[in-house]
Structure 1
């Protein structure tokens, strides 16, 4: 096979694995967010949507780090584990700020504060934009290709 075909196949595998790991993280994020906001009467963080979002992203981050480290980009990093985790947390923090920013704008600026509006702004728009950023950032900074060992 040509180098281009091999790279294309590896990129498709990488995007697919990232998507599966991301889906697990997404489901974790949405479940934790909604449990914190709406489980019980009143929900534990019913009146604190941003706090609920930060906590849900933190829990999902553990899921996605393990999935990406062990599956999506196994064997790619040249960093120490400490540096890799620090970069992962930093990139997730930026991705989280994207989602929280969408939620804050929708909830507080536009006044769209229903459960549906909060979920659309945080878990559809915010997470979609954050996911695009994360794929690029993880691939570029957290799990870079090892020189001479391109996949």
Structure 2
């Protein structure tokens, strides 16, 4: 396997590991807020979409620091804010996918259960969002550093 493919697979694996940590944190926060899981009483039982967005904002912060420090440390930021603004915009755009799945489950299919919420938002929606975020982060936030141009004319000897 070429170095390029090994590097790409390493980035995908590390991105997946960071995403898993952020997802589990978001999963627990969402289920505590929306379903009272682990604490027995719901805080936002009638607002699962807002609970999902809040939980995933916490996950977004974890994901950014993991991606910046471990997944793409060799890709220095090109923006003054370290890519944070582009990262947030991409995450918010990608969050439309699981929120859309949750909306569909709750308001179109009228399924109101912890299992349905988690399968739609934290299952189907997150798989779709994972692929979109990986591509968009590599393309717009954690871009490869510019290579030094190679000179077509060699220096005189």
> Deviation digits for residues 46-101 of structure 1, max 9, x if unmatched?
11000100001100001000000001011313423426000000000011111101
Question: Contact between 1:77 and 1:142, CA under 8 Å: does it hold in 2?
Answer: no
Confirm or deny that 1:5 pairs with 2:8: no
User: What is the root-mean-square deviation of aligned Cα atoms in Å?
Assistant: 1.5
Larger Rg: 2
Question: Contact between 1:76 and 1:146, CA under 8 Å: does it hold in 2?
Answer: yes
Aligned length: 146
Tell me by how many angstroms 1:10 deviates: 0.4
Q: Following TM superposition, where does structure 1 have runs of at least 4 consecutive aligned residues deviating by more than 4 angstroms?
A: none
List aligned pairs for 1:1-150, cutoff 5 A. 5-39=2-36, 40=39, 42-82=41-81, 84-148=83-147
Q: TM-score, normalised by structure 2?
A: 0.88
Give the gaps of 5 or more residues in structure 1: none
Alpha-carbon distance in 1 for matches of 2:11, 2:24: 20
Query: SS at the partner of 2:81?
Result: helix
Query: SS at the partner of 2:31?
Result: helix
Over 3 Å counting, the alpha-carbon distance change for 1:48 and 1:21 in structure 2 is same
